[in-house]
Amino acid sequence: MSSKSDLDDYYNEICKEMITLKALRDEVTTTGEPRLAGWSQIVKQKEDEIDEMEKELKQKSMGPITKKKLEARLVRCLKAVKILITSKDDISEAMGAFIKEVATGKPRQYPWAQIKKFTSDPKQEIGRGVFGVVYKGTLDGVQVAIKVLNNNQLMDNMEKEFKAEVNAMSKTYHRNLAELYGFCFDPKMKALVYEYMENGSLDQILYKNPSNVPWEKLYQIAIGTAKGLSYLHESCKKRIVHRDIKAVRSH
């Protein structure tokens, strides 16, 4: 696992690359090239994301899971900034779509066959509800949670639920919220690929071994949950009101 100094090194490298990227952005602003308007907008989004990560790096204490998530985000951001620099003078429609996907963290669409490969054989079920079943899987060496929706729902309801979740979660990022990596919308399968929560769901902590959890830890969990909800209600670009908060869904 990376140390605090490793995270600082990633951040400092990003800042160095951003000097070049900002200079290119200023050049584009001066010339006013219409075809690079989308490119410039993505650069601005990267600036905002870097400012947010800087605030996280300044925190006095940071748990191992938070460090791991922040490291992954820093690595993705550094890759995106380098792509934005090298692609500025050669923007094709296909490359533009690729840059937008990588640079903005847009969830990736996966085919049905690839989703099947993500899950182990036999499948390891880690959750179940009216929406469907959640399985544990592996994506590029990283553990993921794959939420497979019930195919027996009415198609209109299925599409409405699917679009709402992908649209909402693709526009959010907070260290106390599970990240949406991608999705599959296929006649054979409708699935969402989420970040895997190593500590399990909150109901396991509260109801299975409640006496083993110190009050200080419960307090930290409550504060973390409140911060995640506050972000959804007040801070994310599109405000989201979660009307079905349950311990089984909290991590």
pLDDT in tens, 174-192: 777 888 888 887 767 788 8
Give residue 13's pLDDT. Answer: 93
| C-alpha torsion sign, points 6, 10, 16, 19 | negative
> End of a domain among 153, 178, 195?
195
Give residue 228's pLDDT. Answer: 84
| Strand 189-195 to 142-149 pairing | antiparallel
Residues 27 and 82 placed together within one structural domain of the fold: yes
Residues 112 and 100 placed together within one structural domain of the fold: no
> End of a domain among 70, 104, 138?
104
Read off the pLDDT of residues 45-68 as tens digits, 9 standing for 90 and up: 888 889 888 888 888 777 887 888
In this prediction, residue 111 has a pLDDT band, given cuts at 50, 70 and 90, of confident
Give residue 230's pLDDT. Answer: 85
Residues 23 and 83 placed together within one structural domain of the fold: yes
Higher pLDDT, 221 or 37: 221
Residues 182 and 206 placed together within one structural domain of the fold: no
> End of a domain among 164, 179, 195?
195
Give residue 73's pLDDT. Answer: 87
Residues 12 and 89 placed together within one structural domain of the fold: yes
Task: Give the span between the Cα atoms of 50 and 48, in whole angstroms.
Answer: 5
Give residue 61's pLDDT. Answer: 77
Which residues are catalytically annotated? 244
Residues 183 and 128 placed together within one structural domain of the fold: yes
Give residue 34's pLDDT. Answer: 57
Question: What count of residues does the chain have?
Answer: 251
Residues 9 and 100 placed together within one structural domain of the fold: yes
| C-alpha torsion sign, points 119, 206, 231, 164 | positive
Residues 217 and 243 placed together within one structural domain of the fold: yes
Read off the pLDDT of residues 68-109 as tens digits, 9 standing for 90 and up: 888 888 988 888 888 888 766 655 454 455 555 555 556 788
Read off the pLDDT of residues 133-168 as tens digits, 9 standing for 90 and up: 888 888 777 888 898 887 665 555 666 777 777 777
Give residue 224's pLDDT. Answer: 85
Residues 24 and 98 placed together within one structural domain of the fold: yes
Mean pLDDT of 205-234: 80
Residues 191 and 207 placed together within one structural domain of the fold: no
Query: Does residue 227 carry a pLDDT above 80?
Result: yes
Tokens of 14: 């990003």
CA distances from 128 to 109, 124, 131, 149, 198 (A): 23, 12, 8, 10, 17
Give residue 19's pLDDT. Answer: 92
Contacts of 113 (CB under 8 A, 6+ apart): none
Give residue 14's pLDDT. Answer: 92
Q: Which amino acid is at 163?
A: K
Range of the domain at 126: 108-195
Place of tokens 């050669």: 90
The predicted model scores a pTM of 0.55
Number of domains in the chain: 3
Task: Give the span between the Cα atoms of 32 and 1, in whole angstroms.
Answer: 44
What whole-number percentage of the chain has pLDDT above 90?
A: 4
Residues 225 and 208 placed together within one structural domain of the fold: yes
Residues 15 and 32 placed together within one structural domain of the fold: yes
